[in-house]
Amino acid sequence: MAKLRLILGDQLNTKISSLSDVVEGDLILMAEVWDEATYVRHHKQKIAFLFSAMRHFAAQLEDDGYNVCYVKLDDEDNTGSLFGEVKRALEDFDADGIVTTECGEWRLASDIKHWEEKLGLPVDIREDDRFVSTLKEFRDWAEDRKSLRMEFFYREMRRKTGLLMNGDDPEGGEWNFDSENRKSLPKGYKAPDRKSVRHDGVTKEVLKLVEDRFSDHFGSLEDFQYGVTRDQALRQLDSFIETCLPDFGAYQDAMATGEDYLNHSLVSAYLNAGLLLPMEICEAAEEAYKEGHAPLNAVEGFIRQIIGWREYVRGLYWLKMPDYAQTNYLNARRKLPDFYWTGETDMHCISEVVRNTHDHAYAHHIQRLMVTGNFALLAGIKPKEINEWYLIVYADAYEWVQLPNTHGMAIFADGGMMGSKPYASSGAYINRMSNYCKSCRYSVSKKTGDDACPFSYLYWDFLDRNEKKLRNNGRMGLVFKNLDRKDKDEMKAIRDSAKKFLDTL
Ligand code: FAD
Ligand code: DLZ
Ligand code: SF4
Ligand nearest the Cα atom of residue 374: 1
Element (H, E) at 29: strand 27-31
What is the strand order of the sheet 123-126 is part of? Answer: 68-71, 27-31, 2-6, 95-101, 123-126
With a 6 Å cutoff on the Cβ, whether 32 touches ligand 2 is yes
Shortest-distance Cα residue to atom 43 of ligand 1: 365
Answer yes or no: is pLDDT of 89 > 90.
yes
> Quick one: pLDDT band at residue 396, thresholds 50, 70, 90?
very high
Domains and CATH numbers, the chain: 2-126 (3.40.50.620), 135-198+219-320 (1.25.40.80), 339-503 (1.10.579.10)
What pLDDT shows up at residue 36? 98
CA of 365 to the centre of ligand 1 (A): 6
With a 6 Å cutoff on the Cβ, whether 57 touches ligand 3 is no
Interface predicted TM-score (ipTM) of this complex, two decimals:
0.99
Mutate to test the pocket of ligand 3, among 255, 444, 456, 505 (most ligand atoms within 8 A of CB): 444
Rounded to whole angstroms, how far apart are CA atoms 405 and 377?
Answer: 13
Answer yes or no: is pLDDT of 233 > 90.
yes
CA of 104 to the centre of ligand 1 (A): 16
> Quick one: pLDDT band at residue 45, thresholds 50, 70, 90?
very high
> Model confidence over 337-365: pLDDT tens digits?
999 999 999 999 999 999 999 999 999 99
> Quick one: pLDDT band at residue 146, thresholds 50, 70, 90?
confident
What pLDDT shows up at residue 196? 86
For 396, phi and psi rounded to 5 degrees? -95, 10
User: Which DSSP letter does residue 96 get?
Assistant: E
> Model confidence over 436-448: pLDDT tens digits?
999 999 999 999 9
What pLDDT shows up at residue 268? 98
Mutate to test the pocket of ligand 1, among 194, 253, 305 (most ligand atoms within 8 A of CB): 305
CA of 43 to the centre of ligand 2 (A): 13
Rounded to whole angstroms, how far apart are CA atoms 290 and 299?
Answer: 10
Q: Partners of 69 in the beta sheet?
A: 29
What pLDDT shows up at residue 195? 83
Can you tell me the mean pLDDT for 219-234? Answer: 97
**378 with 349: CB under 8 angstroms?**
no
Answer yes or no: is pLDDT of 188 > 90.
no
Handedness of CA 122, 70, 279, 158 (dihedral sign): negative
Higher-confidence position of 417 and 396:
396
Mutate to test the pocket of ligand 3, among 346, 425, 437, 497 (most ligand atoms within 8 A of CB): 437
Answer yes or no: is pLDDT of 249 > 90.
yes
Q: Partners of 170 in the beta sheet?
A: 165
Can you tell me the mean pLDDT for 157-177? Answer: 97
What pLDDT shows up at residue 220? 98
> Quick one: pLDDT band at residue 144, thresholds 50, 70, 90?
confident
CA of 364 to the centre of ligand 1 (A): 7
Answer yes or no: is pLDDT of 1 > 90.
no
Amino acid at 293: H
Q: How many residues does the chain have?
A: 505
For 203, phi and psi rounded to 5 degrees? -65, -40
* For the CA of 453, the nearest atom of ligand 3: 2
DSSP string over 300-324? HHHHIIIIIIIHHHHHHHHHHTTGG
CA of 371 to the centre of ligand 3 (A): 9
331 contacts: CB under 8 Å, gap ≥ 6: 380
With a 6 Å cutoff on the Cβ, whether 436 touches ligand 3 is yes
Ligand nearest the Cα atom of residue 444: 3
With a 6 Å cutoff on the Cβ, whether 369 touches ligand 1 is yes
> Model confidence over 93-111: pLDDT tens digits?
999 999 999 999 999 999 9
Cis peptide bond upstream of 322, omega within 30:
yes
Ligand nearest the Cα atom of residue 372: 1
* For the CA of 347, the nearest atom of ligand 3: 7
Mutate to test the pocket of ligand 3, among 431, 501, 504 (most ligand atoms within 8 A of CB): 431
With a 6 Å cutoff on the Cβ, whether 108 touches ligand 2 is yes
On average, the pLDDT of the chain sits at 97
For 125, phi and psi rounded to 5 degrees? -95, 110
What pLDDT shows up at residue 397? 98
What pLDDT shows up at residue 91? 96
What pLDDT shows up at residue 457? 98
> Model confidence over 272-315: pLDDT tens digits?
999 999 999 999 999 999 999 999 999 999 999 999 999 999 99
What pLDDT shows up at residue 40? 98
For 467, phi and psi rounded to 5 degrees? -55, -45
Ligand nearest the Cα atom of residue 401: 1
> Model confidence over 432-487: pLDDT tens digits?
999 999 999 999 999 999 999 999 999 999 999 999 999 999 899 999 999 999 99
What pLDDT shows up at residue 198? 92
CA of 300 to the centre of ligand 1 (A): 16
CA of 59 to the centre of ligand 3 (A): 48
* For the CA of 107, the nearest atom of ligand 2: 21
**296 with 181: CB under 8 angstroms?**
no
What pLDDT shows up at residue 360? 98
How far does the chain reach from its first CA to its final CA, in angstroms?
61
Rounded to whole angstroms, how far apart are CA atoms 403 and 193?
Answer: 31
CA of 102 to the centre of ligand 2 (A): 13
With a 6 Å cutoff on the Cβ, whether 458 touches ligand 3 is no
* For the CA of 30, the nearest atom of ligand 2: 11
% of the chain with per-residue pLDDT over 70? 100
Ligand nearest the Cα atom of residue 111: 2
Amino acid at 141: W
Answer yes or no: is pLDDT of 419 > 90.
no
In 3-state terms, what secondary structure has residue 69? Answer: strand
In 3-state terms, what secondary structure has residue 4? Answer: strand
Rounded to whole angstroms, how far apart are CA atoms 152 and 141?
Answer: 10
For the ranges 295-304, 311-320, 398-407, 416-425, the lowest mean pLDDT is seen at 416-425
DSSP string over 343-408? --SS-HHHHHHHHHHHHHS---HHIIIIIIIHHHHHHTB-HHHHHHHHHHH-TT--HHHHHIIIII
What pLDDT shows up at residue 334? 98
For the ranges 23-27, 189-193, 262-266, the lowest mean pLDDT is seen at 189-193
Rounded to whole angstroms, how far apart are CA atoms 51 and 32?
Answer: 7
